[in-house]
Structure 1
């Protein structure tokens, strides 16, 4: 556990000892090690920066936000155990945390049982609703829809699907398949590797891609597996300009870890890219790099986590309580001029309006923004009103 970022995970003292009633105690539950350590560390740092900014400005209603932090190290059972400890023993009623859908689903019943409020900053597959969760990441209609159009128009009709073997990749690939086929394209292969798969497992994916000769690859391989995949792809000699890997997750931080030159030409669909223009993003990038180092880029992972803490603080200032029902209702009324653009909630779904974008990776590790929607897109986590045959790119313009 860490308190105000000061103690390392696993510190053994009783978290309730010396509890400061003049602070707002919140849980922070991201893996800074393990299979998703890179992306969840970015979630963690975005959360930390926002809390520090709020506290430096005087806190919320004169009280500082006090973070109680654990590192589940990518272990699903540890997420559940730490969530219970935060809510039942540590005195937290709000948790910022989880990234993979497996970890979110592992803590859901615990958060509901203890009537806590989980702020979840990750893109995910949708088809979920809980009065105890605020969803601030993109749903599939806010990233996959535009990406399908981009790949079919810019690269060709033959698409190969790959993913890590758990719910988010399988559901995302199911929707991508439906989109590709509805628009006259063809899925020429679909493969999965274990979430902790080794170099051989991901090398076999690349061999299958080379044999199928698609026009583009849609990848939902995540975590360390994605790093293995992109390295193997670069070594394969496949022309990335002709046949890129397109994903919803391979952002600036992981590109830095893999090596930017090995990722040049690959595609990312996301509502935030570090290269976005605008004063809010310039301020965020400067603050992030001043705090954590000029070599560490911002990304969709850090920015979403950062923005949701500021949305939380606005809601808390309005109601003055961490009670899940009252705070959750207030959260859905908030708006924020975030680094990625204007944010507002859809009260029916508890998800957020976002502005989709598409970037192509450069040799310096940033993205050229090649398309962005003209306006925020309403979340459709159940795909109840999204039209699969429509062209999402018609609703945007090059940035």
Structure 2
């Protein structure tokens, strides 16, 4: 490991042309060859299989593994097999960082697919930036990040909220209650939501956050009952989503007059809580399992065949799946001796893939994806009814809440 590090430092002085793009090292041919040996390309798979967010991350692991298996069964990438190295960071940001270092430095993975929460992404980010590696992050997130070491395939605030918030205000009213898990993602999403609400003449009557893994919502439910908001805007994540919905239903509250509107509640959480607990509530996402397309039909059928007929797909498992194909397409452009994180990143810029949700594209400027926003209402059978979807794919703007800043190919710029 130390010898590899010294090799990187030795070549760093020659890296000026790439430094502005976010990579402090230049890759020698020998270093590239190390990533594609014996007909294999090693990648890391870093999703929690235990802990509070395993309820969702376990399905991201499954979607990633399935995509790798499909690619390998079809001949791999230019005849090379993708070899996944799976680690369980146990829903703990510090463990995420530890496992990321292992995957990059010890296992010498050319890229890593991982994370659900922003807390875990922030924990691993220094590893990928310092070691000039590449992280594929599939989750909807709060934006306000401009790393050249991350490929972001989930939605950012403008792709989830620009249609959703005005639609909810028009349909239900202007008094909103915000409830979220206590970390960066809910707070930044709420920051953007408040800007939209202000422009619509709406107000936030309360805003509070609960710890990750929180399961006792009786005091929150009592506030819902007393405050009577028109909309409950939820950015609660993990198994806390299940507890919140079950306790809402047990309290006899009515989603017809006081719905929860979520950016994070998917078919996966609904399967855990039961369709009755989620029925009538809303989610905004680029993908729902019921979306009709040939690609989605194949995806759902393959997922259930591989992992069980009772399994569901959702908007983060879908991006976990298609980002592996984006990786495959990028690597397929390269010769074996040229494969390294830098060349993969450059090959990904502008890359398109016909995903289950529709055609997606990696935006060259900020490495986020063009996606297809949709609004769904959960039904008692555990599936969503799509009520509205964008006519076209929507450009990602990770700094939509900060109009004086923009993520560009050269880095973050003040405008």
Q: TM-score, normalised by structure 2?
A: 0.86
The answer on whether the counterparts of 1:101 and 1:124 sit within 8 Å (CA) in structure 2 is yes
Residue in structure 1 matched with residue 356 of structure 2 by the alignment:
339
User: Structure 2 CA distance, aligned partners of 1:240 and 1:33?
Assistant: 32
Residue in structure 2 matched with residue 179 of structure 1 by the alignment:
196
User: Structure 2 CA distance, aligned partners of 1:85 and 1:294?
Assistant: 35
Q: Is structure 2 residue 270 aligned with structure 1 residue 268?
A: no
User: Structure 2 CA distance, aligned partners of 1:198 and 1:297?
Assistant: 23
Residue in structure 2 matched with residue 317 of structure 1 by the alignment:
332
The answer on whether the counterparts of 2:372 and 2:389 sit within 8 Å (CA) in structure 1 is yes
What CA RMSD, in Å, does the superposition of the two structures yield over aligned residues?
A: 1.5
Q: Compute the displacement of 1:143 (Å).
A: 0.1
Q: Compute the displacement of 1:218 (Å).
A: 0.5
Describe the shift of the 1:121–1:246 C-alpha distance in structure 2 as closer, same or farther (beyond 3 A): same
Deviates more, 1:94-103 or 1:178-187: 178-187
User: Structure 2 CA distance, aligned partners of 1:137 and 1:332?
Assistant: 16
Unpaired stretches in structure 1, ≥5 consecutive residues: 1-18, 387-399
Q: How does 1:56-205 map to 2 (within 5 A)?
A: 56-199=73-216, 202-205=217-220
Residue in structure 2 matched with residue 280 of structure 1 by the alignment:
295
Describe the shift of the 1:110–1:385 C-alpha distance in structure 2 as closer, same or farther (beyond 3 A): closer
Residue in structure 2 matched with residue 393 of structure 1 by the alignment:
none
User: Structure 1 CA distance, aligned partners of 2:218 and 2:41?
Assistant: 48
The answer on whether the counterparts of 1:94 and 1:322 sit within 8 Å (CA) in structure 2 is no
User: Structure 2 CA distance, aligned partners of 1:278 and 1:248?
Assistant: 23
| Aligned with 1:43 (options 55, 60, 76) | 60
Residue in structure 2 matched with residue 255 of structure 1 by the alignment:
270
SS of 2:147's partner is coil
Residue in structure 1 matched with residue 6 of structure 2 by the alignment:
none
Report Cα offsets for 1:337-363 as digits up to 9, x if no partner: 110001012111110101100000001
User: Structure 2 CA distance, aligned partners of 1:160 and 1:385?
Assistant: 23
Report Cα offsets for 1:40-97 as digits up to 9, x if no partner: 1111111011001000000001011000000111011110000000111012120000
Q: Is structure 2 residue 381 aligned with structure 1 residue 364?
A: yes
The answer on whether the counterparts of 1:34 and 1:74 sit within 8 Å (CA) in structure 2 is yes
The answer on whether the counterparts of 1:99 and 1:122 sit within 8 Å (CA) in structure 2 is yes
User: Structure 2 CA distance, aligned partners of 1:325 and 1:63?
Assistant: 19
Residue in structure 1 matched with residue 251 of structure 2 by the alignment:
236
Residue in structure 2 matched with residue 4 of structure 1 by the alignment:
none
Residue in structure 1 matched with residue 39 of structure 2 by the alignment:
22
Deviates more, 1:176-185 or 1:373-382: 176-185
User: Structure 2 CA distance, aligned partners of 1:186 and 1:240?
Assistant: 19
Number of residues of Structure 1 aligned to a counterpart in Structure 2: 367
The answer on whether the counterparts of 2:153 and 2:368 sit within 8 Å (CA) in structure 1 is yes
SS of 2:394's partner is coil
The answer on whether the counterparts of 1:70 and 1:82 sit within 8 Å (CA) in structure 2 is yes
Q: Is structure 2 residue 223 aligned with structure 1 residue 208?
A: yes
User: Structure 2 CA distance, aligned partners of 1:211 and 1:192?
Assistant: 18
Report Cα offsets for 1:100-159 as digits up to 9, x if no partner: 000000000111111110001001100101111111110000002211112101111111
User: Structure 1 CA distance, aligned partners of 2:118 and 2:265?
Assistant: 17
Work out which of the two has the higher radius of gyration on C-alpha atoms and give 1 or 2. Answer: 2
